[in-house]
Structure 1
Amino acid sequence: NGCTKNYNRSILTITTLQSLIPQISWDSLFNSVLPGSFNPNQIFLYNRRYFDVLRSVLNDTSVQLVKEYCMWQVIRSILPKTEGPLRAISHRYQATRCIVDDERAKYCTDQTLMLLEDSVAAMFIEEKFNSSVVDQVKNIYADFKEIYRNMVEDTDEIDIESKNTILEAIKKTELEMGILESMLDRKQLNDAYRTVQIDDSFLKNILSLRSYKNLKPILAGYPSVFPRFSAMYDHLSLKVVLPLGSFLRPSLSQYDYRLILYSNVGISMAHELSHSVDNLAVAMETKQVLQQRIDCLVSSLKEDIEKNDDVSISNITMYYKEARADLVSLEISYQAFKAQQQSQQLPYLNLNEDQTFFINFAQTMCGNMADRYLVTILYPPPKY
């Protein structure tokens, strides 16, 4: 019926995926990961939107980076740990998708499923994660801090007093991996996911949270969780936080291609590290220079703003901080990557390591931004 048809558009079998993205031999790929574990009609992953994007990327470029490295590692990292739990939860929630007609209700349901997918995966990743990768990421972060300090020390554009203040801020900023204790109680999270029901109040709390700052539970007695997938800088604890969801990124697989690691996860960490000096950086700008930067940003967004009546720049200082962090993080991560001694030329890829670094950065971080995300303008649209 119509309800089932609507639901099935959001799930995939190996057969349907093969017709969707024929460039990859999916049956061989899955069975080489887990031999004998799949049949062509098995539902194996619940997120069609991701594969729609992948199809577009593969159709629009001859670069095989996505196919040969990222996709293989995504499958190897996520599938064995999340396929069962995700399928069980999505089936429990099927009724909700089928019975609602209101467009807003459908949107909320889709958002809940998307958040469940990330956070359930993160929970299982934590239970099975290899601690050596944690040590590896911490070592990379230490390299980032050293490079950032050197960048500040080597510049002639900052006076000694300001330079020392910035260096002290960088020194104090530590890395925390996992889920912030301030965001949830670990036992509550486990209990909630193991007893989740369609009308569970836990889901209502997830739906109600749209930012890290809004942590007050809507319904008392249930955890208020925003299952972040990206890194963040916590101004209260002076920590760069790399959530468990970030471990799902393909670069943290056993293959350990540093080039891929530095050009996506590395840049995320470096971006948040640069936020440790946000207020200092803005304060050191002269009023004239800061106004010029703001005028430039507003000018670049003028066309998007004029096309959308509900779009406005709500916090230009925040926007400026994000734009600055993007540029600083790319410089830090690239310098750290180039300091590696081993060759980073990937096999079967006709690109040198510099080209591959920036192409992978672009494929990971850049793209078109939907109009609804321009409403707050807290982050620079990727196309700029």
Structure 2
Amino acid sequence: MIILYKERNAICLTPICVHTAAIILNSMNATVDPCEDFFEFACGNWIKQHPIPDDAPSVSNFENLGQDLELALKELLENGPEVIGGNIREINKEAVKKAKYFYQMCLNETEIMTSWRNVFEQVLRTFGGWPSLESSSDPNIRIRIERLYGIMVSKFRADSLFKATVQPDDKNSDKHILLIDQPALNLFARDFYMLSETEDERLAYRTLIRDVLVLLGADPRIAERDSLEVLQFETELANITVSEDQRHDIAELYTKYTIGEIKEKFPNFDWLLFFTTIFEDINEQKRKIPIQFENNEPIVIYGVEFVARLDKLLPIFEPRVVQNYLTWCWFFKAMLRDLPDPFALTMFKFYRTLNLMMVQKLRWHGCVTRINSLMPMATSSIYVKHHFDNEAKAQVEEMIALIMEAFVELLDEEDWLTKETKAYAKQKIKTMHKKIGYPDYLENNTAVNLEYERYIVYEADYYKTKFQFYEMYQKDILERIRMPVDRNRWVAGAALVNAFYSPNTNEIIFPAGILQPVFYSKHFPRSMNFGGIGVVIGHEITHGFDDRGRLYDQFGNIRQWWDNATIVKFEEKAKCIEDQYSNYILDQISMKINGRSTKGENIADNGGLKQAYRAYKKYERFRSIPQQLPGVNLTQDQLFFLNYAQIWCGIMNDKEAIRKLRTSEHSPGPIRVKGPLSNSVDFAVAYNCPKGSPMNPSQKCRVW
């Protein structure tokens, strides 16, 4: 096996170059032939040096970047003027002060233990009680299920019976519409309620429900019975959902009705009462009048078969069981995870049984997560001031332009698309919006304060404050129902290690949090940046043309803009990817990848790699060869592919690996390296891999 070393240029010996080289070399296992197992070649030593921490089920470069961001937010939330003990009226004038006050209240377990019960009991009164905590065994309840769930959705963003929200209409993307979708299940995914090998998870979950009910004051015998009934209902609910690998065709999922039509079609749930309850405190922003619904109000359902089955399921169970399930889910998601001992210990036992952690996480982790999700633009505003270099924005803009050019070039080279479909695809690329780093208004404190002016902190009352934040967060979403879609709105904050493609708005989004090493650094050789954030850019662009994104046109509407001949060819090429990945086995647990559920992400990984490499070669044509990193005897092309692979360095415990394979739409790290690189002719050339070797198989698959 020979690797061609070239480009013998001057060696860069600055501290940053030495540090970068050390990270690369310390991660590699150079004793392994890169053409045999590139993941082991790139990450072998990294895995040896990074044991899974006791408070997590996995460790990876990607997760470590998230940990670094969490730590940065922790320091920012703890530094600056002390807000606890300050004037509440003054604190409530500034978004960042509210965020800091919330964070500090979240840390104060003593204070939470003195205040939580009062808030808990107030909420239960609005719910009509919690049958499990009452002595009566009356199967009837004091509140209609539709009203109860409507309150939970409007005040707490509940999604345990089904998801109900406001979002852009997939077929009229300038307008918002009501949407109904499947619920978010507490046990990861529907398989965990069905399979014999997940019995331990179900037992641990039922034990958690029972133990928490007892801690809340339930009779142990009632807690035993009700925990079983709740699990039975949740299992039946899971059973009527459709598995995610059957839900990729959004055009097939999408069905539009009026409220009057769904009342008639699904009569066992009072839909008008439900939606009226959700919107009873919501006004039209401009006219300040209540939002009201008539029978002709349009509503989109993702997956009518689920709603039809739910309509048949609800009458089978006593209302008391349904109320117990809904109230349990509310407590589990909104209260339990933040309560100190003995509740925290009960949650920890549950997590430990599932191998999610062997020791409890330090409390600050959860507190950072809570405030970053509830006030993302407030936390982002302080994060970008201290941890984002605007030079990154200019460099990433340049990279996006080159990668989009590369995509168009590759499009022109394809012979499976008709001329008309190519023209539409180019138009979609041309009109694709780009959001990089953070929205400009985060530099304006007044604008950020205005965004959160309705958020109120209550002195020494964590849950009252948290629930008010929940309600305001949800109110902001619900109020959009009579408003046009704001295409300048960011779908996420900047303090986030992720990237997005939004099909409704045909835009790619790269928050400041992902524009950090290992994905990007202004000090990296450009080959590494193109192999890092460049592949991510290409990945998100490709999502606009994967098995789901291709269904949307340039304006974000579901429309068949591909002709039938092109669709047939696309399906053939996508099936090649699906079958290829379905034959991959994650050696750690000897379990096959689900090529169907991961298909969209695999298409994007393969396309993103090819586009980023093509763009890098375009960039390189007009630039001098950079200095070599000390001790890294690799060409710039080899460095491109190595950095791509090292992004995915990581390891999981066996239970987490099984969970990921059953629930994630992404392939695990070793497969995200093996799949795209073994399909890449450019990689095979860069590493001089013989044809027929594991990393250069004769049969390759790709769509873009």
Equivalent AA in structure 1 for residue 399 of structure 2 = I
In the superposition, the TM-score normalised over structure 2's length comes to 0.36
CA distance in 2, matches of 1:196, 1:114: 19
Deviates more, 1:320-329 or 1:366-375: 366-375
Paired residues of 2:601 and 2:665 also in contact (CA < 8 A): yes
Paired residues of 1:232 and 1:240 also in contact (CA < 8 A): yes
Q: Which secondary structure does the structure 2 equivalent of 1:331 belong to?
A: helix
Paired residues of 2:528 and 2:640 also in contact (CA < 8 A): yes
Q: Which secondary structure does the structure 1 equivalent of 2:605 belong to?
A: helix
Relative to structure 1, is the Cα distance of residues 361 and 142 closer, same or farther in structure 2, using a 3 angstrom cutoff?
same
Paired residues of 1:81 and 1:124 also in contact (CA < 8 A): no
Larger RCO (CA under 8 A, 6+ residues apart): 2
Instruction: Indicate whether 1:354 and 2:368 are aligned.
Output: no
Equivalent AA in structure 2 for residue 132 of structure 1 = E
Q: Identify which of 615, 619, 628 aligns with 1:336.
A: 615
Q: What is the Cα deviation at residue 84 of structure 1?
A: 2.8
Q: Which secondary structure does the structure 2 equivalent of 1:230 belong to?
A: coil
Instruction: Indicate whether 1:372 and 2:372 are aligned.
Output: no
Question: Residue 257 of structure 1 aligns with which residue?
Answer: 525
CA distance in 2, matches of 1:270, 1:303: 28
Q: What is the Cα deviation at residue 164 of structure 1?
A: 1.4
Q: What is the Cα deviation at residue 238 of structure 1?
A: 0.7
Unpaired segments ≥5 residues, structure 1:
1-28, 30-53, 62-69, 209-214
Equivalent AA in structure 2 for residue 371 of structure 1 = I
Q: What is the Cα deviation at residue 115 of structure 1?
A: 2.9
Q: Which secondary structure does the structure 1 equivalent of 2:523 belong to?
A: coil
Q: Note the alpha carbon deviations across 1:121-155, whole angstroms, 9 max, x for none.
A: 74433224443321221111111111110111122
Q: Which secondary structure does the structure 1 equivalent of 2:434 belong to?
A: strand
CA distance in 2, matches of 1:349, 1:190: 54
Paired residues of 2:69 and 2:513 also in contact (CA < 8 A): no
Unpaired segments ≥5 residues, structure 2:
1-18, 20-42, 51-60, 80-102, 110-337, 352-359, 441-446, 480-490, 551-561, 672-704
CA distance in 1, matches of 2:70, 2:663: 35
Equivalent AA in structure 2 for residue 239 of structure 1 = E
CA distance in 2, matches of 1:134, 1:152: 27
Question: Residue 499 of structure 2 aligns with which residue?
Answer: 231
Question: Residue 242 of structure 1 aligns with which residue?
Answer: 510
Relative to structure 1, is the Cα distance of residues 328 and 98 closer, same or farther in structure 2, using a 3 angstrom cutoff?
same
Question: Residue 385 of structure 2 aligns with which residue?
Answer: 127
Q: What is the Cα deviation at residue 166 of structure 1?
A: 1.5
Q: What is the Cα deviation at residue 275 of structure 1?
A: 1.2
Question: Residue 606 of structure 2 aligns with which residue?
Answer: 327
Paired residues of 1:169 and 1:277 also in contact (CA < 8 A): no
Instruction: Indicate whether 1:57 and 2:53 are aligned.
Output: no
Paired residues of 2:393 and 2:437 also in contact (CA < 8 A): no
Q: Note the alpha carbon deviations across 1:288-323, whole angstroms, 9 max, x for none.
A: 555454333333359899869xxx95x93x622211
Instruction: Indicate whether 1:101 and 2:345 are aligned.
Output: yes
- Tell me the matched-pair count: 304
Relative to structure 1, is the Cα distance of residues 193 and 115 closer, same or farther in structure 2, using a 3 angstrom cutoff?
farther
Question: Residue 175 of structure 1 aligns with which residue?
Answer: 434
Instruction: Indicate whether 1:266 and 2:534 are aligned.
Output: yes
Q: Which secondary structure does the structure 2 equivalent of 1:176 belong to?
A: strand
Question: Residue 283 of structure 1 aligns with which residue?
Answer: 567
Paired residues of 2:543 and 2:604 also in contact (CA < 8 A): yes
Q: Which secondary structure does the structure 2 equivalent of 1:342 belong to?
A: coil
Alignment of 1:133-144 (within 5 A): 133-144=392-403
Question: Residue 35 of structure 2 aligns with which residue?
Answer: none
Paired residues of 1:260 and 1:357 also in contact (CA < 8 A): yes
Equivalent AA in structure 2 for residue 160 of structure 1 = K
CA distance in 2, matches of 1:110, 1:375: 30
Q: What is the Cα deviation at residue 159 of structure 1?
A: 2.0
Equivalent AA in structure 2 for residue 375 of structure 1 = R
Instruction: Indicate whether 1:199 and 2:462 are aligned.
Output: yes
Deviates more, 1:118-127 or 1:325-334: 118-127
Paired residues of 1:270 and 1:333 also in contact (CA < 8 A): yes
Question: Residue 48 of structure 1 aligns with which residue?
Answer: none
Q: What is the Cα deviation at residue 234 of structure 1?
A: 0.7
Q: Note the alpha carbon deviations across 1:171-226, whole angstroms, 9 max, x for none.
A: 11121124579xxx944469979999883567679999xxxxxx8579999xx977
Alignment of 1:39-78 (within 5 A): 57=46, 59=48
Root-mean-square deviation (CA), in Å?
Answer: 4.9
Q: What is the Cα deviation at residue 348 of structure 1?
A: 1.1
Question: Residue 298 of structure 1 aligns with which residue?
Answer: 582
CA distance in 2, matches of 1:58, 1:82: 27
- Which has a greater percent of helix? 1
Identity of aligned residues (%): 16
Instruction: Indicate whether 1:166 and 2:425 are aligned.
Output: yes
Deviates more, 1:368-377 or 1:266-275: 368-377
CA distance in 1, matches of 2:469, 2:659: 20
Paired residues of 1:170 and 1:277 also in contact (CA < 8 A): no
In the superposition, the TM-score normalised over structure 1's length comes to 0.61
CA distance in 2, matches of 1:253, 1:94: 37
Paired residues of 1:266 and 1:333 also in contact (CA < 8 A): yes
Q: Which secondary structure does the structure 2 equivalent of 1:84 belong to?
A: helix
Relative to structure 1, is the Cα distance of residues 254 and 161 closer, same or farther in structure 2, using a 3 angstrom cutoff?
closer
- Report which of the two structures shows the higher radius of gyration computed on alpha carbons: 2
Question: Residue 167 of structure 2 aligns with which residue?
Answer: none
Q: Note the alpha carbon deviations across 1:216-268, whole angstroms, 9 max, x for none.
A: 579999xx977642110011111101123223445654525323322212211
